[in-house]
Structures are given as structure tokens and as C-alpha cells.
A and B are shown apart, each in its own frame.
Chain A
Amino acid sequence: MHRLSVVTRVENLAEGIKSYWLALDSDLNAEPGQFIMVWIPGVGEIPIAVAYEENKKLRLVIARRGKTSNYIHENLVKGDRVFIRGPYGNGYIYSNVRRALLVGGGYGASSLLFLASKLVNRGGKATVILGFRNKSKVILVKDFTEIGADVIVCTDDGSYGIKGLASEVAEEIMDDFDAVYTCGPEIMMTKVVHYALSKGRSVQASLERIIKCASGVCGSCVLEPQGLLVCRDGPVFDGEILIKTEDFGRYWLDKTGRRIDISRLKN
């Protein structure tokens, strides 16, 4: 069954992206990279990464994408109830990492924020490269800076920070780091993973697929041909595993379980 939480704060982060702070009655003890299922009664239930958790306070970053996320954006205000279950899945592995490079795109920056705060708290160093389409989409820069991470921002059109792709900037500076983490559009993550492995760096990426049960039984979130489950074995996977996964960067299962080209997903 779901847990009850109450919205304590809503922030407009950028065009189409909001952040929600929820008060819980007990800790989830989520790890960075894990996700929860957010149920809005009468509307739907969607998987969302944990952007931060501390003292029964949970932060989510939600982009407008369709039915449920639109409803959340248009209706959810301070004092409203939100129903959640989880946390689910395996998060990032980060013990003993000294110098980490985090590469995020769009709302993918969200789970990396939680990771950066854990890394910095343990005395590690986190440098984050964030990529966005343009200035109106830029999020979380101040949040990363405040927790003590170094931030590099790029936009496709150069309207904010460096003009270029986060994956390209990552290639230029990767030599300085011992571990790489990435979360964002899968095309970007594919580039980051391949480059990092070619440089002998350990790399982890957080994937999305259609989540239904979130409990490792329905198979809707599978990656073929290994039969890896995003909700259970992931959503964070080691790059060494992903490069052997045909589906990585290429295919999703649609809601019926038919494999479709990743470019055919509606966004």
C-alpha cells in the first residue's frame, strides 16, 4: 500500500520542470538513484527518482511529459496529499570514490543532485556537467553549487554556459576523474558510457523504461537480451553491462511488450 505524504513546497525550476518537497511520517532511507512510485488518486501513478531525502523530507523533480505529470504541474500545491510507494531498485554505487564526474541531461540532473550531496558529505569531490536544450530549461545549478559541487552548464544553443553537448564536455575533462555517473536522455548516456569505458573509467548510468509493478514481476521494464529489469536490477547499471545490452540506446518495450525503436517514444 502507499504511504501518505504532504506537499510542503513547490518550486518552479524552469519551463515545464517543478520541484516538490514532501513531508513523510517516516524515513524512506532511499539511496541516490533509487526511485519511488507517485500515485495521484484518480489520475495515475508514475516512477520518479529521489532528488533528495533527509529527516522525513523528500524532494522530487518532475518534468511535464503527459497525463500524470501534467496533472501534477497544474494542480498540486502546498498542503496537498501525495501517495508514494518505494523506494525501489538499485542506486549508484559510490563508496570509496574520491573524484566523481556526474553528467546529467534535463531532469536527469535530479538523481545526480542526491548523489553529489552524498559524495561531498563523505569528503569526495563531485564535478557535474549539466546539459539542457536552452536557457529556459536550465535547472538545479544553484543547488549543486550550494552542496559544494563544481558545476559546468552547457546548452545546445549556447544561451547559457558552454555551447555544446554535455557528453562532449565530459570527454574533454574525463581524465581527471576516477568514476563517472550519468543520468539523462539515453542517447547522451550511450556516448558517455562508451567514452568512459574506452578510457578505462568505471561508469554507471540510470535508465528509464515503462514501469508498471516496480517489483520485478511483470517484465515491462526489461532490457534485452539479458532480461535485465530496470525496476529491480537497475535503474542504475554498470556501463560494462550496458554495452553488452542490445537495447541500451536503441529499444524500449511499449506497454504491450513489443520492442520499439527508442526514437519512436513520444516525449
Chain B
Amino acid sequence: MAKLEVTVAGIKLRNPLILASGILGITSGLMVRVERAGAGGIVTKTITKKPREGYDNPVFLELDVGYINAMGLPNPGADYFAEELRKLENFHIPIIASIGGSTPEEFTYVANKLKIPLVKGFEINASCPHVSKHGVEILSDRKLLSEIVSSVKSVSNNSPVFVKLSAMINDVVKLGEIALESGADGLVAINTIRAMAIDIWAKKPVLSNIYGGLSGPAVKYVAQRVIYELYNVFPDKPLIGVGGIEKWQDVVEFILAGASAVQLGSVIAKKGLTVFNEIIRGVKMYMEQEGFRNIEEMRGLAHRT
């Protein structure tokens, strides 16, 4: 029997499919739905110290090759969200809190607020491509990145801390190294990639914010490359792959590239929450057919010479 359970940086997941940040993880009712749909874990919407309304519509676009969004990190703020999470009862899958901010102080404020029993880990969103000072700028400032990681780690009560990386930075391996040296337990890759869409009849950019982040199938092969590169250098570290995963074959590809687990994001727009069980069935079938007993046996096999 193929086993789907994995342990990632000490967090036990019933299967390697985690809900990606920014997708439905904003209320307790939605998290219960995601748990029932079969997810192995949930990353919350990125939460900031103060509430944010996000940008004006249009904020989301469906493309032939994926999606572009510039939601603008709307979220109810750390104080409110901590209460929202406390509403969860009989909840069994691990929650990873995604934290956003622009200074170490903002990050530790949110981490401290969200330090509640259901939260088993933190994901530092250092890679949002469309909110100024809340994302990619952090990755471009190595000292700031290192300070943010070590300050979140210092208040995390030994819960694992992940850093979510962007493919928009050339030397992603170097950044991964800085994150890990600063105390991060694992890496998540990738966030959306800065992009835009122009309407030829309006002759204007469509998003109110002009720039947004590209996700979906269009970014899958980029995300896979980043996981492969990271695994080359950090084969012993937890690596979570995200970007364009839509079917079980994609999950297998990411694990072969070196992912310990994966996240599903915009595919929910196309397939709804039933995608979790659909993919789980496929991965299981593949593992049985290929004789894998567990996910760990498959991990990184594409690197074998």
C-alpha cells in the first residue's frame, strides 16, 4: 500500500497537497470546507498587522494560459484573524499562517498574534509581486530578508518557519541559502510572477493596479525548475513546490524534482475543491503502479545520475 502521509519540517500532513496562500484561506468556514475536500494542510491568506482592503476591481483575470491577479493582499488584519482561527473546532489538518509586512516588527507582530495551537507553522510571504515593499523588495534586500526570518523564528516557539520565494529573483538558490542560514526551516517556491494584461479594444491595462502576478499552467515549468535548483543544493531541507499544479502528473513531477510537498492555488478556479481528491487518487495509483511505498522514496529522483 502506498502511503501518502508526509512530515514536512516536523508538520505531519495526511497527504502532500496543501492549499496555497491567498486561495480561500480567509475564514474559518472556508477552512473547514477545504479540510473536508481532502487537503493535507492549509496555508492562510497572507495576514498583515493592519487590515487591508486590497485594490479596486478588476483584480483577477482568467487567461488562456493561467491567471493574473492583483488582489492587493486584502485581509482583516492579525488581531481579527486570530479570533477567526479560534472559531475552528475539531479541526485536524495543520494550518500554516502566511505572514506579510514590510518590517521585521510587522512580521513579529503578526506571528505573535497567530501563535495559537492550530497554527503549526509560519510562511513568510517575501514574494508578493504587486504590493510595494511587501514582497519581492524583501528578497532584493538580503539584510532585511535575514532580519525578518530570524525575528519571526525567534518568536515562533519552535514552530517551523518557511520562506516563500519568487522566481523573479535571479539567484534564487542564494536567497534560499540566506533564508536557511537565518533560521528558516524550509522553503516554498514559487509565488506569482509579475505580469500584466492589456485589452486591445480598451487599449488599456486591465488590472486596476496595472501589474499583477501570473499563476496557473503558465508558471508551472518555472516553479519546477526552481524546486529542482533548490533540491540540488539543499536536498535535506523541506521544499514545498507551488505553481501551476492542476493534475496528479504535475504533483509527481514536482516531487521527482525535489519537493517534499506541494501547494494548490489557482486550479481551484478551474476545478473547484474536488481537485484535492481527484489528485490524491491519481498520485496513489501512480505510486502503486511504480512501486513506491511513500512520498519520500520518490522525492528528488529526477536528480539521480
- Give residues in A with beta carbon < 8 Å to B: 1-2, 4, 37, 39, 41-42, 44-46, 81, 83, 85, 211-220, 222-228, 232, 253-258
Contact = CB atoms under 8 A, between A and B. Distances in A.
B127 to A, nearest CB: 18
Contact of A256 (B25, B32, B58, B77): B77
Contacts of A4: 201
Contact of B30 (A39, A45, A214, A219): A219
6 pairs of A and B residues whose beta carbons are closest in the complex: A227-B29, A45-B57, A213-B60, A227-B30, A255-B53, A256-B51
Interface of B: 22-33, 45, 51-54, 56-63, 67, 69, 71, 74-77, 80, 87, 197, 199, 201-202, 204, 206, 208, 265-266, 268-269, 272
Contacts of A216: 24, 268-269, 272
22 contacts: A2-B206, A41-B204, A45-B208, A46-B57, A215-B60, A216-B272, A217-B23, A217-B24, A217-B60, A217-B265, A217-B268, A218-B22, A218-B23, A218-B26, A218-B71, A219-B45, A222-B30, A227-B32, A228-B29, A256-B77, A257-B75, A257-B76
Contact of A212 (B30, B32, B59, B201): B59
B208 A83 contact: no
A39 B266 contact: no
Nearest to A227: B29
Nearest to A41: B202
A235 B138 CA distance: 39
B37 to A, nearest CB: 10
Given A41-B204, A217-B23, A218-B71, A255 B54 contact: yes
A256 to B, nearest CB: 4
B30 to A, nearest CB: 4
Contacts of B208: 44-45
A225 B29 contact: yes
Contacts of A1: 61-63, 197, 199, 206
Nearest to B36: A227
A257 B59 contact: no
A257 B26 contact: yes
A228 B74 CA distance: 19
B200 to A, nearest CB: 9
B233 to A, nearest CB: 33
B54 A212 contact: yes
Contacts of A223: 29
A22 to B, nearest CB: 13
Contact of B199 (A37, A83, A215): A83
A220 B58 contact: no
A226 B52 CA distance: 24
A237 to B, nearest CB: 14
Contact of B58 (A37, A219, A253): A37
B53 to A, nearest CB: 4
B84 to A, nearest CB: 8
A4 B201 CA distance: 7
B272 A226 contact: no
B199 A41 contact: yes
Contacts of A215: 60, 62, 67, 269
Between B22, B53, B58, B77, the greatest number of chain A beta carbons within 10 A of the residue's beta carbon is seen for B58
Contacts of B71: 212-213, 218
Contacts of B45: 219, 257
Contacts of B63: 1
A102 B287 CA distance: 54
A44 B76 contact: no
A244 to B, nearest CB: 12
Nearest to B53: A255
A69 to B, nearest CB: 13
A206 to B, nearest CB: 20
Contacts of B56: 44
A258 B50 CA distance: 12
Nearest to B57: A45
Contacts of B27: 219, 222, 224, 227, 253, 257
